[in-house]
């Protein structure tokens, strides 16, 4: 497909020669002879050229003024400006407005081709980055945190509020696999810093020596192996967001350095002798109990208070079981597209297994299970045999919120435990109360031993001899 080039040139002979030359080079060329005609093409016909080659001095206007208006309106594309005078103020203004190059007439055709081709490469790269940024913004919205449970609705409402305010720091808590990374991307791409970079680093994945260099950078010769200068991840996030996952694993001495960066908005590279100004929004995530770490001295209290300008707590999947019906079809569609499968039916047996498991790995585990099932599916049905959730024992033992208190069994009524979970938990508690005596348990429950044994086997309840 030809790439578009807009030529703005009032000289008939030069303009026609440029049009002929670039059309032979497979450009889709549009020629405007006046300021007014160029303005109409750009703003009324909404022409979006990859490159604009424009004279500065037009009969009814100035090419620099047109470039200025295009930039203020958010127009894309690179501009190459031509002038017959080569005045310094014009060249300075052109560069300040973001022109790709400024050439003086007459210009050799080879040199012009070189400049236009360079401008085209730059414009393509810019468009690719812009398209990727727009795609990420569309992908990471509050609706991306899918589900219709009350707990999920609360999280989404807070995400919307966070996207509307220019906060400096946020700490996201929750068990492994609950979606802390997703929440961070939603907040960044939907917030005021969405056009800036999002730099992610897992503090638990790097040893202490590497983590300091990765975060804050270093100068050449700062330590053995530092052959050149390196900009740290905090510096690379300037104007955007840095996401520090597993921040509870960060060594205490580095926590002090991070606190200084947040407070002073500046850092010093390892081996450096000057402060570098940085403007970053800090998102931190942890699956640990930070309050407990602060009490034990494993996490600095001042850093914790600075990070917790806002706190976002993500619920485990067992507390939002109603969301499974929303999440599974999304994951099926995702892996259908990746693997070229056509899974469209989820059997009742699959739903029963999915909804009667406590998901210790949370949404991440659910996603992995669905991926496996889709990849191994042989027809349009999601195969129950590839769920590989083991027995239903996790449902019985992991209901989590169930507890025996003063001879009473307390069961949650918030939807986090299904009927089968409750039945299994009741039988397990009664068996323990009666020393695993099946006959006595069946008598107290006013049922038969066969029914109790059936449920022991169904829920894989461990009964000691």
Q: Report the CATH number that the domain containing residue 220 is assigned in CATH.
A: 3.40.50.300
* Token pair in block for residue 146: 């899918």
State both tokens at 456. 């022991």
Of 390, 411, 437, the one marking the end of a domain is: 390
Report whether 314 contacts 174 (CB < 8 A): yes
State the CB neighbour count (10 A cutoff) for residue 61.
16
Has residue 465 been placed in a domain? Answer: no
Cis peptide before 183 (omega within 30 of 0): no
Structure tokens at 271: 């081996």
342 within some domain = yes
Q: Which residue has the tokens 């025996």?
A: 404
Whether 64 and 150 map to the same domain: the answer is no
353 CB neighbour count, 10 Å cutoff: 17
Residues 368 and 437 both lie in one domain: no
Residue 463 inside a domain? The answer is: no
Residue 298 shares a structural domain with residue 324: no
The dihedral formed by the CA atoms of 246, 251, 253 and 259, expressed in degrees to the nearest 10: 10
Q: For residue 222, how far is the Cα from the chain centroid?
A: 33
Same domain (yes/no): 166, 206? yes
Residue 218 sits in which domain range?
141-315
Q: Are residues 83 and 145 in the same domain?
A: no
User: Could you tell me if 350 and 449 lie in one domain?
Assistant: no
Asked if 331 and 212 sit in the same domain, the reply is no
Residue 150 included in any domain = yes
- Residue by residue, pLDDT tens for the chain (465 residues) are 568 999 999 999 999 999 999 999 999 999 999 999 999 999 988 788 999 999 998 999 999 999 999 988 878 889 999 987 767 788 888 888 888 988 888 888 999 999 999 999 988 888 887 777 667 667 889 999 999 999 999 999 999 999 999 999 999 999 999 999 999 999 999 999 988 889 999 998 888 878 988 899 888 877 777 777 788 899 999 999 999 999 998 999 899 999 999 999 999 888 888 889 999 999 999 998 888 889 888 899 999 999 988 999 999 999 999 999 999 999 999 999 999 999 999 999 999 999 999 899 999 999 999 999 999 999 999 999 999 885 443 333 333 455 555 567 777 665 556 677 778 888 888 888 888 888 888 888 888 877 788 778 777 787 755
Same domain, 161 and 251: yes
How many beta carbons lie within 10 A of that of residue 160, not counting itself?
14
Give a yes or no: residue 464 inside a domain. no
Confirm whether 418 is domain-assigned: yes
CA dihedral (255, 257, 258, 259) in degrees, to 10, reads 90
Q: Where are the alpha helices (DSSP H) in 140-207?
A: 150-163, 180-190
Give how far Cα 259 sits from Cα of 181, 208, 268, Å.
22, 17, 13
């Amino acid at each position: 497909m030809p790439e578009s080039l807009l030529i703005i040139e009032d000289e008939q002979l030069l303009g026609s020669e440029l049009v002929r030359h670039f059309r032979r080079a497979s450009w889709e060329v549009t020629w405007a002879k006046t300021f007014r005609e160029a303005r109409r093409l750009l703003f009324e016909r909404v022409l979006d050229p990859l490159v604009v080659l424009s004279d500065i001095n037009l009969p009814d206007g100035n090419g620099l003024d047109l470039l200025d208006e295009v930039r203020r309106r958010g127009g894309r594309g690179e501009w190459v400006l031509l002038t017959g005078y080569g005045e310094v103020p014009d060249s300075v203004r052109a560069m300040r407005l973001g022109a790709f190059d400024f050439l003086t007439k007459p210009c050799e055709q080879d040199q012009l081709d070189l400049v236009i081709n360079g401008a085209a490469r730059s414009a393509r790269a810019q468009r690719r980055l812009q398209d990727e940024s727009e795609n990420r913004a569309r992908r990471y919205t509050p609706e991306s945190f899918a589900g219709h449970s009350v707990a999920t609705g609360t999280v989404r409402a807070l995400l919307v509020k966070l996207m509307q305010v220019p906060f400096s720091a946020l700490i996201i808590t929750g068990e492994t696999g609950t979606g802390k990374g997703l929440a961070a991307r939603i907040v960044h791409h939907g917030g005021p810093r969405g056009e800036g970079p999002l730099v992610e680093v897992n503090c638990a994945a790097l040893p202490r020596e590497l983590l300091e260099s990765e975060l804050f950078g270093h100068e050449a010769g700062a330590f053995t192996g530092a052959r050149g200068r390196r900009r740290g991840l905090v510096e690379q996030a300037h104007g955007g967001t840095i996401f520090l996952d597993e921040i509870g694993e960060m060594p205490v001495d580095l926590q002090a350095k991070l606190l200084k960066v947040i407070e002073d908005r500046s850092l010093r590279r390892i081996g450096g002798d000057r402060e570098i100004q940085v403007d970053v929004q800090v998102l931190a995530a942890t699956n640990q109990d930070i309050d407990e770490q602060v009490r034990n001295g494993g996490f600095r209290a001042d850093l914790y208070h600075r990070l917790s300008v806002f706190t976002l707590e993500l619920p485990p999947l067992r507390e939002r079981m109603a969301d499974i019906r929303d999440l599974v079809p999304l994951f099926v569609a995702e892996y259908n597209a990746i693997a070229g499968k056509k899974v469209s039916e989820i059997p009742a047996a699959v739903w029963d297994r999915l909804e009667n498991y406590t998901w210790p790995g949370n949404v991440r585990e659910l996603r992995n299970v669905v991926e496996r099932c889709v990849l191994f599916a042989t027809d349009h049905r999601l195969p129950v045999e590839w769920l590989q959730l083991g027995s239903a024992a996790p449902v019985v033992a992991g209901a989590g919120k169930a507890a025996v208190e003063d001879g009473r069994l307390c069961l949650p009524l918030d939807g986090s435990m299904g009927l089968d979970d409750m039945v299994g938990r009741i039988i397990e508690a009664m068996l323990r109360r009666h020393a695993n005596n099946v006959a006595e348990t069946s008598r107290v429950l006013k049922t038969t031993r066969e029914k109790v044994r059936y449920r022991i086997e169904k829920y894989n309840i461990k009964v000691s001899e």
